[in-house]
Chain A
Amino acid sequence: MEISISVNGTQTGGDVAPRTLLVHYLRDNLGLTGTHVGCDTGYCGACTVIVDGRTVKSCTMLAVQADGRSIETIEGVAVGDELHPVQEGFWECHGLQCGFCTPGMIMSSIALLDNNNDPSEAEVRHGIEGNLCRCTGYHNIVRSVQYAGAKMRGEDPQGASQGVSS
């Protein structure tokens, strides 16, 4: 089937088999391998992308279902050399270890902060409940998201660059 999808602001498309998952379209057809696959039941969130402003687990959507929509993946988050505050937060607060869950975690965190840039610990934990991390125990992910929120509110949060950790 012919499809046309905007990905990170670029129009993409072509002929895809109807059963192609969106995540495989992104990874195999477009070479955007930052979106990961960690399960087969829509549970881990490693494949999370933003479709028309809402987070979607791209392993639960067919590429053809995304026809005509606008998608943002992890590769489109930084503007040139400038990291998104959430990316900076994960770096400053050691919010990642192996990094495999990280792209999905960052996409969910961006969506969370877009709704509420001053989330409590509980709100952060609730907001990323669809994303599993096996490495960090989430402690530093919570800190990373709150760091990003502070940054987005115009504050000057402290992280590893200032010698501050957990």
Chain B
Amino acid sequence: MSTTSVMGGIVRRKEDPSLIQGKGVYVDDIRRHGELASAFVRSPFAAATITSVDASAALALPGVHAVYTIDDVRHLGLNPAQVAVGTLRPLLADGTVHHVGQAVAMVVADDRYIAQDAADLVYVDYEPGDAVVDLKDAYADTVQVHDGVSNTLLTWNGHAWWEGVIDLPDPSPGIQEAKERDDTVVVSLEMVNQRLIPTAIEPRAVLADWKSGYDSVELWSSSQIPHAVAGAVGLAFGIGSNKVRVVAPEVGGGFGLKLNVYPDEILVCFASKVLGRPVRWTETRREAGFASIQGRGWIGTSTITGTREGKILGYELDAICDMGAYTHNFTVAIPLLGLFVASGQYDIPTSYALHCVVTNTPTTDAYRGAGRPEAAYYLERIVDAFAREIGMDPADVRKANYWKPDQFPVTTPIGLTMDTGNYEVNLDALLERVGYEDLKAKRDAARAEGRLLGLGLSSYVEVCGFGPSALAGLGFSWAGYGLPAAFNGSGVVRVQPDGTCTVTIGTGPSGQGHETTWAQIVSDGLGIPMDNIEVHHGDSIDSPMGIGTFGSRSIAVDGTASFEATNRVKEKAAIIAGHLLEAAPEDVQFADGGASVAGSPDRTVSWAQIAESAYQPHTLPEGMEGGLESSVVFSPPNATWPFGSHLALVEVDPETGDVDLLDYWATDDCGNVINPMIVDGQVHGGIAQGIAQALFEEAIYDDMGNLLTASLVDYPLPAAENLPMFSLDRTVTPTDVNPLGVKGIGEAGTIGSAQTIVNAVVDAVSHLGVKHIDMPLRPKRVWQAIEDARN
């Protein structure tokens, strides 16, 4: 392993040696003495009343310890949510079920095999009712998911949310007038942004060990937000969150699906408390389609009104957004996040209505990008359609409408402030690198031969790095919903008495490489070798208060906290070293594992010597407190706004409709970069998930609310053969909302990619008359669209 690191350098990951040897510890790898396993009895109906539950046969099975229903756990309350608009989920079905797969009873047994056998022996009587699955039907309230409650929970239509908080101008000046002018063009498309199942390869897993002698509990959970889970468990059992240790060890991918408090997390604690033994549960892949959240699920119309010269005079978005049956952590806030970036990189009047509608399906919540991929899709698809309509190059139309660098900080149509942006430079960097004009010529030449090549372009801007705690006042907080949790970043940097360094952070990775990136930040600041820095995370008791990993927020917020803590440790160490070396602190320099005096390189002390002094306070300068650590809480003044440009080249087989993705290029801008290798990896994975939505994946329900795609056989995650190499580059426009100048990169790839692919495929077949094809662009759909256009 490399022993020194400079920020901005490629460094092998610290987390890898254990993972590549099969020695990483995920929740399902942990074994506790005397542990029991559990399984859930799940509803086969999307809407039904439960008339009876008979667990006698299950309880009679040897090795079964308990079967719990809502009567056992109702006193623990509902499953909490951070933005609690809508119907919260009961921990187990309470008299009714509202989606297929809803948990009705929990079985605890000696092992997972017996637990599953017993679950099959629990006899539940249902009185089926009417379910509503189709989004438009649900919006029409033909059938109500929850009796007496409108299916539309709320509509994000601009000012309602912000009233009294932000003073907004009219976001859509002149759109109607522009439409009526006879020199303008109006282009409109109805499009589906289909539901997806996030599908981390590690299924969710939980293991609880209630310590009756201490009235405290340890819970291991495959979670992105251990602190919030601790708050939820404490609330359910009426104990302080200081008695709940939630540990997220290695987490096998998150993507937002592990950014929730789930009923099973509370239920295994309950079972462990009652039975006096550790209790575990691990989701099966099929169960993940019911027991964890899904993402996307919008149907909407976007409309552009503009001039024939490419000036956009108005953008309108009207969409129905599927919430599923129950509200989870951020459910209704996901469309709001999309609304934050509804007008993308463009200085255009914007009007929007996003209707949050419940259906008899599992809950939707944050899936990588969370509202922003949907928003980018609707905008960038219609920008492309507009360019085609007026016969302009799609790159030129985009440039004609970008915010210009000298306009920053920009106030968007919905009243948020974008930090920094340099959109045209970024797009030009991409176009020059790929040889855009040559690519167009290549496409046209192929088309002249009857081959269907298409080029697709997309710009995007994302909002991330959450964020300013003032956002909590806008509803992004547990506060007000009774669930106490932090809304800040945090980092503690401590130099140990032996000169090694411990960093503990309020956020944690599910693959993003925090241990390496943070070690680089601290190593860069202190000159302590990477190998001597350990980064700890994911423990609600031992980690500083934080809110976890989501919204591409870790580096911008918690990273900054550790950076500041590093600076403070360094300041104190400079005084100590100066004292030891009889030099002024200003003359002390840190490098090569210790400190030296400027101009006299032979006057040095090691970190171990500095630390030894720090922990022997009598050796310190008069009046200095002992110890060598700093704890910093950081709340940025604003979110960050990364951006970028993506381009794809595809070939469509006119006979089969098969889409061959030939090349994919992306030029992203996430501000400064700590480890380019890790940043590129995030972009690769993000792009892959966007391509997956564009070409392969869809959560399909039948009219009865049955999920037809619960297994990986029916829900085709892309395999290696389905994807190309990705050609990446960057422009660098640092943010000014944190001293590192970093913006975050976890979701950018996903936000930029799905529409890039669809734009490319439509480009390949538009001369045949095809205007749009809904995702996923599987061969049959593409073939059908070509057929329909021809006939």
Contact = CB atoms under 8 A, between A and B. Distances in A.
A137 B22 contact: no
Task: Give the interface centre of A46, A83, A101, A140 by most chain B CB atoms within 10 Å.
Answer: A140
B16 A166 contact: no
Contacts of A124: 720
Chain B interface extent, by class: 35 or more
Contacts of B282: 37
Given A35-B22, A136-B685, A129 B720 contact: yes
A160 B12 CA distance: 6
Contacts of A139: 684, 723, 725-726
Interface in B707-762: 711-713, 717, 719-721, 723, 725-726, 728
Nearest to A74: B22
B212 interface: no
B721 A125 contact: yes
A40 B720 contact: no
B200 A100 contact: yes
A137 B684 contact: yes
B719 A137 contact: no
Interface string B270-312: 0000000000001011100000000000000000000000000
B684 A103 contact: no
B747 to A, nearest CB: 13
B285 A136 contact: no
A90 B513 CA distance: 14
Interface stretch (A62-70, A91-99, A149-157): A91-99
Nearest to B510: A98
Contacts of A94: 13, 677-678, 680-681
Given A98-B202, A161-B2, A166-B728, A40 B677 contact: no
Contact of B684 (A100, A140, A160): A140
From B22, B202, B677, residue with most partner A Cβ within 10 Å: B22
Interface string A94-130: 1011111111001000000000000001101110111
B719 A34 contact: no
A106 B681 contact: no
B250 A99 contact: yes
B35 to A, nearest CB: 11
Nearest to A121: B725
Contact of A98 (B11, B200, B686, B712): B200
Given A32-B22, A44-B201, A160-B12, 11 more contacts: A34-B24, A74-B21, A91-B17, A96-B511, A99-B252, A100-B201, A131-B719, A136-B685, A137-B723, A138-B720, A163-B10
Contacts of A37: 28, 203, 282
Contacts of B720: 124-126, 128-129, 131, 133, 138, 141-142
Interface of A: 17, 19-20, 27, 31-41, 43-44, 46, 73-75, 77-78, 83, 87, 90-92, 94, 96-103, 106, 121-122, 124-126, 128-142, 159-161, 163-166
A58 to B, nearest CB: 13
A132 B717 contact: yes
B638 interface: no
Nearest to A99: B19
16 contacts: A39-B711, A40-B286, A87-B21, A91-B20, A94-B678, A98-B511, A125-B721, A128-B719, A129-B721, A132-B719, A136-B684, A136-B688, A139-B725, A161-B12, A163-B10, A165-B10
A22 B183 CA distance: 71
B512 interface: yes
